[in-house]
Structure formats: structure tokens, C-alpha cells
Amino acid sequence: MRSLELQHKTQQQKLENPITIIVLLLVSTLTVMAGATLSPAIPEIEQVFINTPNVEVLVRLIITLPALFIALGAPIMGVIVDKWGRKKLLTITTVLYGFAGGSGFFLNSLNLILISRIFLGIAVAGIMITSTTLIADYYQESQRNKILGYQAGFMAFGGILFLITGGFLATINWQFTFLIYFSALFLIPGILIYLYEPESVEKRNISKGQKNISGSDRSVPYKFIITIYSLVLVLQIFFFFSITELPFFLAGSLSLNPNLVGIVLASMTVSGGVFSILYKSIKEKISFKSIFFISHFFFGLGYILIAFFPSVEFIVIGLFTAGIGLGLFVPNVTVWLTLKTHSSIRGRVLSGFTMSLFLGQFLSTFISQLFLNILSFSFSDMFLIAGISMIIIALVFLGLIIKEKNFKTIS
């Protein structure tokens, strides 16, 4: 009993230590680094392997192939994280992340680089699920909402750092961009020292003399979950147009160097980071559906601006506007999912979110190529279709909000 009390006291001290939160937030930024870091270097990598068959598709897969294996690995990682534990999986996948991502610095074959990206994707699946699940396990609703907002903010500002750093390194040599991935290894001591394996809900309840939670309290809201997953999938497909296709437009049509490409792309993550951090304050005033209306509207508006005014200045404004929507969307999804699902299935539910997120990123490459190469749409046409689609989804949420208000008025 004394040993158990000492363990609980130690865990509480770790929760109150701000370094614990910082470690969780820094680990979360690794998921953004997986794709964002190399984006400014992609046009140069294409030139290096220009004689490789299907290089136009293969070089884009450097960005999106990890997403496929994150999507495929997420359900497995979700089961592991609920059965085997959070901290072990996070430690192992962070080590794998550093070596799989950084190995590209030593590789001179496009095929070998793509293989290394497969292992990177598997690592990201474990990192994303465990980091978000640990936040949900460690903290109660109000604090959890705030930290999940900070998580999305850190991911966004991490994206700024990685895009700009990746762009700078790409001006020296495209292979230098892969060195950034080794930075993940510096987080291992923090994970081992400041994080702990949370006690299962069943054990915690038994230790407090409470009954196990009944099966009815663990009912899975499948319709709600599938709807959220679908929204995530669609938004990520359109979001990654700016990651995989915009660099080519900026470097080709607007003649920007990799460093400037990284800075332009970072404008989306600036607004995304700010509004992710503001999420908790905004959520206290309006509903989940209202935030989804705002997020889809701003995302769509930003893309429509890019479609109609494809100059550097308006692309920056458009990305900044779209980033407002993206910054509110991600924490709104994670907070709503964790609120609506029981902790015993939380890892698996969040693994589905991860799968949808990165499956959308992977599919984005093929959908953009469908628009540009098969249907012969222009760059502006593609962004216009994406923007209008987001506005339509926003209007659906607006209709639901009005319907609910009318129903409450009648009642």
C-alpha cells in the first residue's frame, strides 16, 4: 500500500512538472516533421533523379508514402497501445523515427529513400497515437482541452521551423534536409525520465473501491466516429495540395528558391499555430459544430484566394487564411473524439483518426495528379475545387447549427 501511494505521488509530481508537458508537445511535433521537412527540397530531388521512370510520381511519394504506412500501421498501433502500454511504444517508435528518417542523408537511390520512408511512417503511427493518448490519459477535461490545443499549436509552429530549416538546408544540398530527423533521438531521455505509464481505468477504479465500468458506458458512437474520420480524410487530401504541389508552382512558375518556398509554405502554419493555442478559449464560447463551420469556411476561403490570385503575395494571404481553419480543426477533432469515447478504447479510436489523417495525405498525391495530368485541370482549378468543397461542408455545418437553434426555440 505504501509503495502504491509513493507511485501515485511520483506520478502526480511528474504531471505538475512543466517539462512533462513540454516533452509531450515536442514529441507531437515529430509527426509534422515527417512530411514538412522535405517539402522545399522536392523540386531539387526531382532534378537529381530526373532519369528515373515515373519520377514525377515517385518523388512526391517521398512526402506522402509515410502517410500510407501511418494509415496502415495506425490500427495495429492502436491495439498495441491499449494492450501493451503507451510509454514503451513511444520510446521504441521515437528511436525508429530518428534512424529511419535520418537514413536518407546516406542514401543515393530513390528506391532506397522510399523504403526508408516506409519505416518512418510506421514510427509516426506509434508516436502520434501514443502522444495524444497520453495527454488524454494524464489530464482531465479542461486541462486536456488546453493541452490538446497546445499540441496542435506546437505541431504548427514545429512545421514553421521544419519548413524554413528544410528550405535552408536544401539550398546547400538536398540530402542535408534528412539530418533534421536525427533530432528526435534527443527526446529519448525526456520520454524515459518525465513520462510514466498511466494506470488502467479498471485498476484505478478497483484501487479506489469502485466498480468496473459497465459495458453500456463503453458503447462506441460509430456514426459520430465515421463522420469525423470522413471530415479528416477530405480536409487532409486538400491540405496536402499545398505541401506536394504548391512547391512546384512556387519554384517553377514563380521562380522561388527552396528557402523562399519554405517561408511561403510556413505562412499557413503561423496562423494554424496561433489559432490552435487559442482553441480552448474559443471552445469555451461556441460549440464543436460551430468550430467546424469556422474551420472549413476559412480553409475554403484561403484556397479560393490562391485559385483566383496565384501570386506570391496572395498565396501567402491564402495560406494564412486556410491555416486559421486548419489550426481550429485538428484540436476540435481530438478533443471531441476523446470526450465521446471511453479510455479503454481511446487508443483504437485515436488510431482511426491517425489513419484517416494520413490516408488523406497519401491519397492527395494521386488525386492532385488526377486533376493536373489526367483531367488537365490547371493549378488554379484544383485549388478552386478544393476551396468550394470546403465552403460547401461549412454550409452543411451552418445548416445543422441553425436547425438545432430552431429546435431549441420551438422546445
Provide the domain limits for residue 326: 2-199+221-410
Query: What pLDDT, on the 0 to 100 scale, is given for residue 199?
Result: 67
Residue 206 lies in a domain: no
Give the number of other Cβ atoms within 10 Å of residue 10's Cβ: 11
Model confidence at 112: pLDDT above 50 = yes
The total number of structural domains that make up the chain: 1
Report the amino acid identity of residue 410.
I
CA-atom Rg of the chain in angstroms: 21
Cβ proximity of 110 and 380 under 8 Å: no
Query: In b/e form, how buried is each residue of 334-371, taking b as 16+ CB within 10 angstroms?
Result: bbbbbeebebeebbbbbbbbbbbbbbbbbbbbebbbeb
Give the number of other Cβ atoms within 10 Å of residue 197's Cβ: 14
Instruction: Tell me which range, 123-127, 197-201, 336-340, is most confidently predicted by mean pLDDT.
Output: 123-127
Span 181-233, pLDDT tens digits: 999 999 999 999 989 888 654 454 444 444 443 343 456 788 899 999 999 99
Query: What pLDDT, on the 0 to 100 scale, is given for residue 23?
Result: 92
Q: What percent of the chain has pLDDT over 70?
A: 89
Query: What pLDDT, on the 0 to 100 scale, is given for residue 72?
Result: 87
Model confidence at 385: pLDDT above 90 = yes
Residue 396 lies in a domain: yes
Average pLDDT, the chain: 84
CA 80 – CA 92 distance, rounded (Å): 12
CA 7 – CA 204 distance, rounded (Å): 12
- Give the pLDDT mean for 69-91: 86
Residue 310 lies in a domain: yes
Query: What pLDDT, on the 0 to 100 scale, is given for residue 218?
Result: 55
Query: What pLDDT, on the 0 to 100 scale, is given for residue 207?
Result: 46
Residue 205 lies in a domain: no
Residue 397 lies in a domain: yes
Query: What pLDDT, on the 0 to 100 scale, is given for residue 103?
Result: 94
As given in the structure block, the three cell numbers for residue 312 are 506570391
Query: What pLDDT, on the 0 to 100 scale, is given for residue 208?
Result: 43
Residue 215 lies in a domain: no
CA 200 – CA 206 distance, rounded (Å): 10
Model confidence at 338: pLDDT above 70 = yes
Q: Which of 67-71, 215-219, 392-396 has the lowest mean pLDDT?
A: 215-219
Residue 204 lies in a domain: no
Residue 212 lies in a domain: no
Model confidence at 328: pLDDT above 90 = yes
As given in the structure block, the three cell numbers for residue 135 are 495527454
Provide the CATH number for the domain around residue 254.
1.20.1250.20
Query: What pLDDT, on the 0 to 100 scale, is given for residue 384?
Result: 96
Contacts of 407 (CB under 8 A, 6+ apart): none
Span 252-278, pLDDT tens digits: 888 888 888 888 888 888 898 889 888
- Give the pLDDT mean for 277-301: 93
Q: Which of 142-146, 198-202, 243-247 has the lowest mean pLDDT?
A: 198-202
Cβ proximity of 238 and 390 under 8 Å: yes
CA 268 – CA 321 distance, rounded (Å): 7
Query: What pLDDT, on the 0 to 100 scale, is given for residue 139?
Result: 83
CA 363 – CA 318 distance, rounded (Å): 23
This prediction has a pTM of: 0.74
- Give the pLDDT mean for 279-298: 93
Query: What pLDDT, on the 0 to 100 scale, is given for residue 151?
Result: 81
Query: What pLDDT, on the 0 to 100 scale, is given for residue 165?
Result: 85
Q: How confident is the model at residue 329 (pLDDT cuts 50, 70, 90)?
A: very high
- Give the pLDDT mean for 44-59: 87
- Give the pLDDT mean for 237-262: 86
